[in-house]
Amino acid sequence: DAGVIQSPRHEVTEMGQEVTLRCKPISGHDYLFWYRQTMMRGLELLIYFNNNVPIDDSGMPEDRFSAKMPNASFSTLKIQPSEPRDSAVYFCASRPDRNNEQFFGPGTRLTVL
């Protein structure tokens, strides 16, 4: 079992550039979550999907952030334009059903200069 796969692992970009983070959930998991981790705010849920449909995006900080899940095996989190305050570690997690724990990927460390 490969676990949750995220790419890239590290991303350094300049302010104003578009950033796309990618996630492949564990096969058979119906739920996918995107989190952001910073020193100041800890671990925050940004958005989650059930069967590829966004269920709750209330954690998305602003319109510069968008997430898609075109199929059961792939999701993207896009930031356009990026800003230095977006620098954080972004985690993707998946879960088989409602009563199970979430399985986390290794994260993408984003640095916006």
List interacting residues with another protein (CB under 8 A). 4, 31, 42-43, 45, 48, 55-56, 91, 93, 95, 98-107
Question: Measuring CA to CA, which residue among 24, 29, 10 is closest to residue 75?
Answer: 24
71 contacts 22 by C-beta, under 8 angstroms: no
Please state the closest distance from residue 94 (CB atom) to another protein, in A. Answer: 11
Nearer to another protein, 59 or 81 (CB): 59
d(CA 14, CA 17): 6
Nearer to another protein, 82 or 95 (CB): 95
Please state the closest distance from residue 46 (CB atom) to another protein, in A. Answer: 12
Please state the closest distance from residue 106 (CB atom) to another protein, in A. Answer: 5
